[in-house]
Amino acid sequence: MSLFEIAIKNIVRRKIRSVLIISAMLLSVVSVVSMIVYSKHMTHNIKTQMDKFGANIIITPKSESLSLNYGGFSAGSLSYDQNLLKAGDVDKVREIKDSGNISAVAPFLMGPVFIEKRQTVLAGLNFNNVENLRPWWKINGKKPEKGEILLGARVAEILKKKAKDQVYIGKFRLTVSGVIDHSGSQDDNLVFVNLYDSQMILKKYGLVSFFEVAALCSACPIDEMVSQIKDKLPNADVKAIRQVIAGRMNSNSLYGTFIFSILFFLAVISFFAVMITMIGSVKERTQDIGIFMAVGFKSKHILSMIIIESVLLSVVAGVTGFIGGNLLTDFLLRYSSDLVVSFKDIDFSLFLKSLAVTVLAGVTASVYPAVKASRMDPVKALKCL
C-alpha cells in the first residue's frame, strides 16, 4: 500500500478530524476569496461612481482681468470681454492622445446679467452631458431647452420663481424649466441656460468662458492629459484639480488597505488553527505511528504521509472555499447593491493563487507536527497500545 493510499484511508477513517481541518481552512479561504472578489467589484463600482463626480480638469483663457472662483476651486483667470475660448475648441480636446480617458467635456459661457433688476451670473452650457459633471443636481422640473432657464435654489428664492414662470433678461423672455435643489455649492447662486441662448444673451457668439473636463481617474494620466491639452490649445490655461484627484485615489487606497489588513489577520488565524488541529491529530495517532515505524516505516515516510494528508485536505478546502467565496460574494452584492457575480466575472487566476496559498499554508502548518511525528520513539509509541 502506497503512502498516498494510506493518507486517503486515514482521512476517511478520521472523518471528524478531517472535517475540522478542512473547516478551519475552508472558513479562511471563503472569507479571503469573498473579500477579495467583493473588494474588486465594489472598488470598481466606487471608481466608476467617483469618475462621474464632476470635473477634474479646467481649461480657461489666458487673461488677468478677472479671477473666477467656481465650485470651491480656482478656475483661473477669466475675461468676459476678451480672450475667450471658441466653442469649437471642444473638438481639439477630444483629439488628444489620451482622449479615451475623457468621459465629458463641457463648454461654459458665463457673464453677469440682470433679472428683474437683480444682478446674478448667467451660465450657459450643453445639458446633454450635465449628469457627468453635476451628478448631485436634483431638479424640480426639467433641464432647460431653447428659450428656457434653470434657476439655482437661492436665485429662485430671491426672485420667488418656480417652474413654468416667466423671467426677462433684457429683451429675452425665458420660461423657468425648473429649480435646482439646494446643493451647498455655488450653483445655488447661478442661473443656467443652454449654451446657444447664453451666447445670444451675452452677445458672445461662438465663444465660451472655460471648459470643464471630467476624466476617468481610475487610470488616467492627468499630468500627461494636461500637457496634451496645452499643446492643442496654446492660448489656454489648463489646470488639474489636485484635491479631487488625490481624494479619489486616496479613498480607493484606504479601502484596499483596510481590506487586506483584515485578510492578513484571517490568514494568521487560519494558519494557527490548522497547526493546532494537526498537532492534535498527530497525538491521536501515536499508536498508528508506532506501528508504522515498528514494521519498517522510516521517519521520512511518516513525514511524507502527514504532508500528503495536509495537501489533500488543503486542495479540498481551496476548491470548495473558492466556490463558496464567489457564492457568498454574489449574495452580499445582491443584498447590498445591484451588482452580481456572473461566470465571466470569475477570476480563475485568483482560483490558482488561492489554491496555491491554501496548500502552502496547510503544508507549512503541518511541518511542525509532521516533524514531531517522524521523530517519535516507536518503543514509547507502542507502549500506548
Same domain, 83 and 212: yes
pLDDT, tens only, 132-159: 677 778 999 999 999 999 999 999 999 9
Return the higher-pLDDT residue of 336 and 177: 177
Q: Which pLDDT value is given to residue 166? A: 94
Q: What percent of the chain has pLDDT over 90?
A: 19
Same domain, 263 and 117: no
The answer as to whether 116 is a domain residue is: yes
The answer as to whether 172 is a domain residue is: no
Same domain, 225 and 338: no
Q: Would you give the distance in Å from CA 264 to the centre of its chain? A: 21
Is 37:259 a contact under the CB 8 Å cutoff? no
| Pairing, β 66-70 against β 139-141 | unpaired
The answer as to whether 170 is a domain residue is: no
325 closest CA partner among 25, 31, 39, 43: 31
Q: Which pLDDT value is given to residue 250? A: 57
Same domain, 127 and 221: yes
Only one residue has cell 424640480, namely 140
| Pairing, β 148-151 against β 172-180 | parallel
pLDDT, tens only, 275-306: 777 777 777 767 677 777 777 778 788 788 88
Structural domain count, the chain: 2
Same domain, 286 and 323: yes
Same domain, 99 and 205: yes
Q: Which pLDDT value is given to residue 37? A: 82
pLDDT band at 81 (very low <50, low <70, confident <90, very high): very low
Same domain, 119 and 136: yes
Residue ranges making up the domain that contains 84 = 56-140+193-240
Same domain, 267 and 124: no
The answer as to whether 166 is a domain residue is: no
Same domain, 236 and 291: no
Same domain, 288 and 372: yes
Residue 200 has pLDDT above 90, yes or no: yes
Q: Which pLDDT value is given to residue 252? A: 55
Other residues' Cβ atoms within 10 Å of the Cβ of residue 11: 19
Q: Which pLDDT value is given to residue 75? A: 44
Q: Which pLDDT value is given to residue 379? A: 62
Residue 46 has pLDDT above 90, yes or no: no
Sequence-distant (6+) residues with CB within 8 A of 178 are: 139, 140, 141, 142, 143, 144, 150, 151, 163
Q: What is the mean pLDDT of the chain?
A: 79
Quote the DSSP letter at residue 94: T
Same domain, 217 and 310: no
Residue 178 has pLDDT above 90, yes or no: yes
Residue 160 has pLDDT above 70, yes or no: yes
The answer as to whether 85 is a domain residue is: yes
Same domain, 369 and 232: no
Return the higher-pLDDT residue of 199 and 245: 199
Mean pLDDT within 358-375:
80
The answer as to whether 155 is a domain residue is: no
Q: Which pLDDT value is given to residue 144? A: 93
Mean pLDDT within 99-117:
86
Q: Which pLDDT value is given to residue 76? A: 47
The answer as to whether 200 is a domain residue is: yes
Q: Which pLDDT value is given to residue 83? A: 65
Assigned C-alpha cell, 149: 432657464
The answer as to whether 225 is a domain residue is: yes
Q: Which pLDDT value is given to residue 77? A: 46
